[in-house]
Amino acid sequence: MSLHELVFRGRRLTSDRAMVMAIINRTPDSFYDHGAIWAEDLARTAIKTAVEEQAEVLDFGGVPASPGPEVTVAEEISRVVPTLQWARETYPDLVISVDTWRAEAAAAFCEAGADLINDSWGAAEPEILDVAAQFGAGYVCSHTDGLAPRTDPVRPQYDDVVASVLRDCTALAERALEKGVPREGIMIDPCIDFSKNTYQSLEVLRNVDKLVATGWPVLMAMSNKGVVGETLDVEMDDRLIGTLAATALAARDGAAMFRAHQPRETRQVCEMVASIEGSRPPAAARRWI
């Protein structure tokens, strides 16, 4: 039984569980790995591992979300394209995503073979929707409450953070559709921690079912983020358990995909949730049968 179905540039994904988007950082200063796979050979190894761990999508990013040294468009493209092209040639059926808010970079990545534009900054460059439409690529509609790319908020305030997420994400999804982005490739992402403090991110996590109820497939990107660190008072290398707990609840509530630093563990959580709910049969039921 198919639980989720998505199409990105003609590449159809169907699954009886929530899917996994593995993170491939092409930066020397990622908040999570601090450039651990910055070298090209290490990036290729990480790609191979993610494919072996059955991630349905690989997400390549050339600019950290957090504030830091400027990365020009040319530099962003040069960081990502060689690795992306190698992945496309090596795994021709793989769905490739690019984490960028820049229309020019998105176009270069789609030319190189990307299928999905994961724009974490809510169409800060509106032309990025035209790029997605031009290539027939998928597009992720994110909630940042108007925060400028690569900036931190100052005490974000909401009358109702969930209502803000619902309003902005669905409005952007409709704009993407009007621009010609294929409906089956449009997703929404509440953007946990982007323009949200820990209390606000937790409130969004309590209401994933409301995002799912919009009818737009939901991408959750919360892997090892600050909300986990502050909720549990743990450092970066001790956030996996909290991340997986949040993953299980969001998968139960119907999220379609999880962006993850640890694809194998995330996939297993999604499989277990789907099997408990009845959409996925056990992989190897043998005891006393």
Beta bridge partners of 117: 98, 139
pLDDT on residue 30: 76
- The Cα 289–Cα 287 span in angstroms is 6
Domain ranges within the chain, ordered by starting residue: 4-277
The pLDDT-based confidence of 2 (bands split at 50, 70, 90) is: low
Is residue 242 over pLDDT 60?
yes
Q: Could you report the per-residue pLDDT of 273-284, keeping only the tens digit for each?
A: 999 999 999 999
Is residue 1 over pLDDT 60?
no
Mean pLDDT of 17-36: 88
Q: Calculate what percentage of the chain has a pLDDT beyond 70.
A: 99
Is residue 142 over pLDDT 70?
yes
> For the structural domain made of 4-277, what CATH number should be given?
3.20.20.20
pLDDT on residue 157: 97
Mark 134-143 as b/e (b = at least 16 C-beta within 10 Å).
Answer: ebbbbbbbbb
- The Cα 196–Cα 227 span in angstroms is 9
Q: Could you report the per-residue pLDDT of 33-56, keeping only the tens digit for each?
A: 767 888 999 999 999 999 999 999
pLDDT on residue 210: 98
pLDDT on residue 34: 67
- The Cα 99–Cα 181 span in angstroms is 17
